[in-house]
Amino acid sequence: MRQAIVGMAVVALATAAAGSARADGKGFALDHFDPSERGSDWFATESLDLRGHLRPAFGVIVDYGYKPLVLAGPNGDESAAIVSHQAFVHAGGSLVLWDRLRLGVSVPVLVSSGGESAIANGVVEPRPANSSGLGDVRLGADARVAGKYGTPLTVALGVQAHLPTGDPDSYTSDGVVRVTPRVLVASKLGKLEAAVSTGFQFRGDTEYAGGHLGAAWGGAASVGVRLLNGRLLVGPELYGSTVLQDGALKMRSSPIEGLLGAHYAVAPDWRVGAGVASGMTAGFGTARVRGLLSVEWAPGAPPPPPPDRDRDGVLDAADACPDVKGVKSDDATTNGCPPDRDQDGIVDAADACPDVKGVKSDDPKANGCPPDRDQDGILDADDACPDAKGVTSSEAAKHGCPVDPDRDKDGIANEADACPDEAGPANDDAQKRGCPQAFVAEGQIKILDQVKFRSTSAEILPGKDSEDVLQAVLGVLRKHPEIKLIRVEGHTDDRGTAALNRKLSADRAASVVGWLTAHGIDKATLSSAGFGPDHPLTTNLTDDGRRANRRVEFHIEEPAK
């Protein structure tokens, strides 16, 4: 079995390596949704139900993706929908062998497609040549290597190969073999189920509309809950990939979608499913909206029996202590739990005071007894303030005593103070409340507001806003003479060219260094650097995100020895 899987991977990898990238003006395998093997309880991940021998499963998934390939103009708005929609019917089947190995096949049939041609980077990117046809047929093999279905952990290794049976001109194929070795994990804990898979896809390299396509790391994850006596599974799924050759996690080469789906067993051997997905990035193949419908026949795989993890004869659904053997009781709060006469949560066998409610203790002689007068969770024997509620402390004289409610003495209680150890003013913004304009934290001099510059210029805008920020930084440097070296970093959003942005950010950082030098800071303690759009704090797809990404940072460095 192992030799067969390895042989299949080697042949497919060799074919992929020999294949060439798409020709100019042609498309590629666009559909980002790659269904799970038939027999799985999920749309995109694998539940790893590899039970039985010669157990088949067959099913179809209707997959409609809206605007999976859209070109954007200079301002980020949509300029053309090269592929306005794709509708596939994925027909698939699987066969489980020897309670361990699963072989699978999936045949995607394009039933509808549309779009418009457009020019991108001086190249005409054509609309789909055909509105229907065959996609790339997928073959797969997965072998269970640890655990078993229905347990907290099941692990399998597998490989999938997409054969070039589709049409690149219709955006249903790369025209070469794609191979994906992968690792799969599934878990069941009572009513909760989860699955994770990850793998590396070997794929021909090419450029498309300013983005890169090629070998990629990808994966999927799901988590859900079983309802209606196990017949209904509901939960979200996340699947995506990122091209590695030209740098991972770039927007256009990192399609990611989030899906909310449900699967219902209408009969012991039949289940139906429905789901809706939405793109979380603007990557090639990411549909703005995707709808999924499925119907599947999987004989011999009925919903799992009601679980009883501790095997005490009380099913988990009714067991108040599902992981500890107990006894049946008419009281739902103690049914399936060990005897506990005083109902203090400590079973009689471990309770030193079984007829008096108490608290837990590491001391067997005190466990279950009430030794905590102020009920702060610290036993009186260890409590320096046994009659006043307090908190734990490494200092014996303070252990169990109340804490100072305002450590930095700025009039804002610790629990409401965003900087409880740095005195600062009140602020309606909870993230700034109690924080000074500038303070040392996490290896930086943090600032609440940004230094402002003239548009497309490194000139610091005159006025109170920038002056207050820089004066605050200046105050921190004077207050902390132990800071020997500061690197001022400039960052921008992604509008404009990367090269110009890097120069602009470097010039702005240098302007801040110049201001600090002019106000008495030793130039030898300062350096500057510009990173342009390379290190965004958040998305550049919104005005607020771009505003947050345009910033100056003050990093504390250790001087060279």
Report the C-alpha dihedral over residues 108, 113, 116, 120, rounded to 10 degrees. -10
Q: Which residues pair with 233 in a beta bridge?
A: 226, 263
Whether residue 314 lies inside any domain: the answer is no
- Cα 226 to Cα 219: distance, rounded to the nearest angstrom: 23
| β-pair type (438-441, 486-491) | unpaired
Whether residue 353 lies inside any domain: the answer is no
Which of 297, 321, 339 is the last residue in one of the domains?
297
Domain CATH number, residue 514 = 3.30.1330.60
The per-residue pLDDT for 271 is: 93
The per-residue pLDDT for 210 is: 62
The per-residue pLDDT for 540 is: 93
The per-residue pLDDT for 538 is: 94
Q: Are 174 and 164 in contact (CB under 8 A)?
A: yes
Whether residue 50 lies inside any domain: the answer is yes
Angle at 281 between CA 224 and CA 111, to 5 degrees: 80
Residue type present at position 225 = V
Whether residue 394 lies inside any domain: the answer is no
Q: Report how many domains make up the chain.
A: 2
Helix, strand and coil in the chain, % to nearest 5: 15, 35, 50
| β-pair type (438-441, 444-447) | antiparallel
Three-class SS of residue 506?
helix
Exposed, middle or buried: residue 124 (CB in 10 Å: 0-12, 13-18, 19+)? exposed
- Cα 222 to Cα 258: distance, rounded to the nearest angstrom: 10
Which of 256, 278, 297 is the last residue in one of the domains?
297
Q: Are 13 and 202 in contact (CB under 8 A)?
A: yes
Which of 297, 313, 331 is the last residue in one of the domains?
297
| Residue ranges making up the domain that contains 80 | 2-297
The per-residue pLDDT for 18 is: 33
The per-residue pLDDT for 160 is: 96
The per-residue pLDDT for 251 is: 65
- Cα 520 to Cα 488: distance, rounded to the nearest angstrom: 16
In sign, the C-alpha dihedral spanning 277, 279, 285, 288 is positive
Whether residue 376 lies inside any domain: the answer is no
Q: What is the residue-wise DSSP string for 367-426?
A: TTB---TT-SSS-GGG-SSTTS--B--SSTTTTTBPPPS-TT-SSS-GGG-SSTTS----
- Cα 383 to Cα 349: distance, rounded to the nearest angstrom: 27
Three-class SS of residue 465?
helix
Domain CATH number, residue 63 = 2.40.160.40
Whether residue 365 lies inside any domain: the answer is no
How many C-alpha atoms does 212 have within 13 Å on its Cβ side?
A: 15
Whether residue 549 lies inside any domain: the answer is yes
Along the 561 residues of the chain, how does pLDDT read in single tens digits? Answer: 444 333 333 333 333 333 333 334 467 888 889 999 999 999 999 999 999 889 999 999 999 999 998 887 767 677 788 888 999 999 999 999 998 999 999 999 999 999 998 887 777 888 999 999 999 999 999 999 999 998 999 999 999 999 999 999 998 988 899 999 999 999 999 999 999 999 998 887 776 666 667 788 899 999 999 999 889 999 999 999 888 876 556 667 788 999 999 999 998 889 999 999 998 887 788 899 999 999 999 887 555 578 888 888 899 889 988 988 888 888 888 888 888 888 788 888 888 888 888 878 888 877 888 777 777 778 777 888 887 787 888 878 778 787 777 777 888 888 888 888 788 888 888 888 888 888 988 899 999 889 999 988 999 998 888 899 999 999 999 989 999 999 999 999 999 999 999 999 999 999 999 999 999 999 999 999 999 999 999 999 999 999 999 999 999 998 765
Nearest CA to 11 out of 181, 172, 184 is that of 181
| β-pair type (192-201, 216-227) | antiparallel
Whether residue 317 lies inside any domain: the answer is no
Q: Are 103 and 95 in contact (CB under 8 A)?
A: yes
Angle at 11 between CA 8 and CA 13, to 5 degrees: 105
Q: What is the residue-wise DSSP string for 201-263?
A: EB---EEETTEEESSEEEEEEEEEEEETTTTEEEEEEEEEEEE-TT-TT-STT--EEEEEEEE
The per-residue pLDDT for 396 is: 83
CA 418 to chain CA centroid, nearest Å: 26
- Helix (H) or strand (E) segment spanning residue 463: none
